[in-house]
Amino acid sequence: MLRQFAERRKSIMQDDPQHYTRGTFLISSDRARLDLEATLRLLHNTPWGETMLLCVLERAVANSVCFGVYTEERQIGFGRVVSDLATYAYLTDFVIEDSYRGQGLGKWLVECVLSHPDFQNLRRTSLVTMSAQRLYEPFGFTEGSGSLVYMEKREAAQE
């Protein structure tokens, strides 16, 4: 069912799945490869995704370019990019399983995302982070630009 879901979304998103390997690790933007239950477990271990529901994750994956990090066919990481694939991209939900942290996988994930062909020559790529500024700074991310003001409209939690 997820494969059908991914194929249906691919034709709408028109993103081209990419694959990157390093030793025994693989990063892939093929939605059909994602293990949504593993992704949900990873997100439930973060402050921002601890209450996410599977139905919400399914919809988010369907409408984003998503990257899974795998070792020996097991998903150990995830990152999602909300984008129009032409002018703007927003990086969100980046997480690596605790037992695999400290191996440079988060940095590699960001490298792979930023090298994805669909994210070249965008006008702006942004993200919000609570504690990982040092991860993103080497890639050229800086705090807000000039007189721009970050604003948001928050809705009640989706159930």
Q: What are phi and psi of 72, to 5 degrees?
A: 45, 50
Taken in order of first residue, the domains within the chain and their CATH numbers are 2-139 (3.40.630.30)
Tell me what pLDDT residue 11 has. Answer: 44
pLDDT at 153 over 50: yes
d(CA 84, CA 124): 11
Region 34-58 average pLDDT: 94
**Tens of pLDDT, residues 73-99:** 899 999 999 999 999 999 999 999 999
The pLDDT-based confidence of 130 (bands split at 50, 70, 90) is confident
Strand partners, 77: 69, 96
Query: pTM above 0.85?
Result: no
Of residues 129, 122, 15, 140, the one with CA closest to residue 67: 15
With tokens 């000039």, the residue in question is 146
CA–CA dist 45, 127 (Å, integer): 19
145 falls in which pLDDT band (50, 70, 90)? low
pLDDT value for 10: 47
Average per-residue pLDDT in the chain? 86
